[in-house]
Structures are given as structure tokens and as C-alpha cells.
Structure 1
Amino acid sequence: MNHTSTQEEAQRQAKPLAPKVKELIARTQSIILATVDAEGTPNSSYAPFVQVDNSFYILVSFMAKHTKNLSEGRKTSIMFIEDESATKQIYARERLTIEASTSQIERDSEKWNTVVAQLKETHGKVVEVISEMKDFILIALTPVKGAYVNGFGSAYFVDENLEIMEHRNDQNHQSK
């Protein structure tokens, strides 16, 4: 095995520490959403979030297409991604993509009040206004499984607790 192959194998074998995943989430104020409607038509959007325990919570309006998809429990994927202005290589942006289950939180329940208070603390007074609007609902996005990428050849499966499980691909990128 030549020196380059040895380096690539060492990188592939070395799992990033779980704090890297948590640091990416902490640096992010909004998540990218991918949902599908009843006909299977995809929709992408975004929403500001807060994390409470192992779920991510978003306050979303029924005026947005994704809200109906989320409220009806359809397949959902969320993504946290490194800011373009901070990346060294646009093709290798650090990112975490998660398949998530969804559930609507009952308005004025204890969970609603706790999470909306955290949303207000994190995202400001606008949350106070929109949380009072009847078309806004609170959705919990709970991780099922996902993938974390932090560079070329550095992709890992993550579990529902966002812990790194294993390298995602046992093959290196191939050249022509």
C-alpha cells in the first residue's frame, strides 16, 4: 500500500468525535427541511429550530407547503450544513442529514410552553408574535438515523442519538 492509500485508509478508519456533530448543530440557527406531499411531490424549505433533549422543534405556519406535509407525518429529512462563507471547500461542506419522525405538539401544553419559551430565548421577540397566530403549529422532529460528512472520504452513519456509528462507504472515491 502506498503512502497516499495509507493516509486515505487512516482517515476512513478514524471516526470524528460525536462533539463535532453537536458543534455543527450548535453553530446552526435553522434547519433545511425536505418533505413530500400526498402525491409524492418533494418540497424543500427551512425553519429556525431549537433542540430539546433528542428532538428538534420548529414553529411553522400552514401557509407554507411543508407544514401540511409535516403535520400529516410524511417522510421528512432535515439537514444542518456549514455556512458557505465558512467552508474551505464548497464540494466538501460539513453537514448532517437526518431522517426524522414528526409529531405535532398540542398548543398550550406543558411541552408547547417549554419549547416556545426556548424558541423566544433563541430567536427573539418574533416568536412571541407568531406563536400566538392560529396558523402556526409546533412540530417535533425526532431523529431516526442519518449521515454526517466532514470532508472528502469522511462520511459516517449516525444513530438516533446522533452518535457516529461507522464509516458510510468502504470504497474511496475513484479517479478516471
Structure 2
Amino acid sequence: MNHTNTQDEAQKQAKPLTPKVKELIANTKSVILATVDAEGTPNSSYAPFVEENNTFYILVSFMAKHTKNLSEGRKTSVMFIEDESATKQIYARERLTIEATTSQVERDSETWNSVVGKLKEAHGKVVDVIAEMKDFILIGLHPVKGSYVNGFGSAYFVDENLEIMEHRNDVNHQSK
């Protein structure tokens, strides 16, 4: 009996619980953003966020490249990742990467007021100041699909509700 194959099969069958995904999000204050401009030039950045009804909201300035990219509805990827200082293995940090669509929230709408209030609660009074600046807009990031990794060989597809679907690959890492 090949002990390695048995372990590999057991790992593929043992899905992590969706609450583990939600816990990673709850323990993260900002989201890493990957956007592209009209010419396809990539841009990476970050923004503090809050979640409401399975949408991640960020308050961002048009002075940042990513804001124009987000406001024009181009392809977007967001990542939540375990703090480097808390990880046991830097190569296997827990992370959730999501493909997302975007929408701009109308200033002073019910959603704007609710979300800006939650941002202030989560990130402090600075939100009052930046929410009044006209170059700041509120963007909703709506998950489409993604992947969750919580260790070597432990990668899973997630759906738009961030529910674990299945193991991400059937191919193990190869040695030389």
C-alpha cells in the first residue's frame, strides 16, 4: 500500500470549512487589489474594506490609479491574506483570491450612508474626513469565483458566496 497516495486522497477529501474562509476575511482589515487599465497595464494596490451582503466595499480616491480602473468596470482580482507575522510558513500563507465585478455606489444613497458608517466603525474617524472629499468614491466588489489556500497542497475553488466547492487540482507538486 502506498502511504503517500492515501494521504493525498485524504487531503483532497477533507475540505476546510467555509467558516475558515469567513474567519480569514474577518481577521483582515484591508484587501489587496489587482486591476488593469485600458491598455492592459496591471496595477496593484490595497484598500481598507467592510463587507455587507457578500459585497466588499472600499472608499478610494481618483488620485490612485486603481480607482479609475475599478470605476470603469475592468477585470479585478482581490486578495485577503494572512498576516506575515502570524504565519508559520511564509510559502504557505493562508489566502483567499477572488475574481470580482465592481459597481460604484451613489454618494449619499442609503447604501453609501450605511457602508460609510460601517467603514468609520471599522477604521476610525478618518473615514468622516475622506468621505467628504469629492475625489473619493465608494466601490462595491462583488465576488464571482476564486480560490482559498490554507497550506501546501491545500487549495480549493470557492463560489460567488465564498463557499468551498472542491479541491483545486489533481496534480501534486513535482520534484526534480
> Is the pair's TM-score, using the shorter chain for normalization, greater than 0.5?
yes
1:5-154 to structure 2, matched below 5 A, reads: 5-154=5-154
- Post-superposition CA distance 1:66-86 (Å, at most 9, x none): 000000000000000001111
Q: Distance in 2 between matches of 1:170 and 1:80?
A: 24
Displacement after TM superposition at 1:164 (Å): 0.3
User: Aligned with 1:79: secondary structure?
Assistant: strand
Q: How far apart are 1:5 and its partner, in Å?
A: 2.3
Matching residue of 1:3: 3
One-letter identity of the residue aligned with 2:96: L
- 2:117 aligned counterpart, secondary structure: helix
- Could you tell me the TM-score, scaled by structure 2's length? 0.98
C-alpha deviation, 1:4, in angstroms: 2.5
Deviations 1:72-126 (A, max 9, x none): 0000000000011111111110000000000000000000000000000000000
Q: Could you list the runs of 5+ residues in structure 2 that have no partner in the other structure?
A: none
Alignment partner, residue 166 of structure 1: 166
Equivalent residue letter for 2:54: N
Q: Secondary structure at the match of 1:169?
A: coil
Aligned with 1:6: secondary structure? Answer: helix
CA RMSD of superposed structures (Å): 0.7
- Which whole-Å CA distance do the structure 1 matches of 2:150 and 2:9 have between them? 16
SS state at 2:16 partner: coil
In structure 2, distance between residues paired with 1:5 and 1:87: 27
Q: State how far apart, in whole Å, the 2-side matches of 1:11 and 1:89 are.
A: 18
Looking at structure 2, the residues matched to 89 and 4 of structure 1 have their Cα atoms a distance apart, in angstroms, of 22
Partner of 1:137: helix, strand, or coil? strand
Partner-residue secondary structure (3-state), 1:131: helix
Runs of 4+ aligned residues of structure 1 deviating over 4 Å after TM superposition are none
> Alignment identity in percent?
86
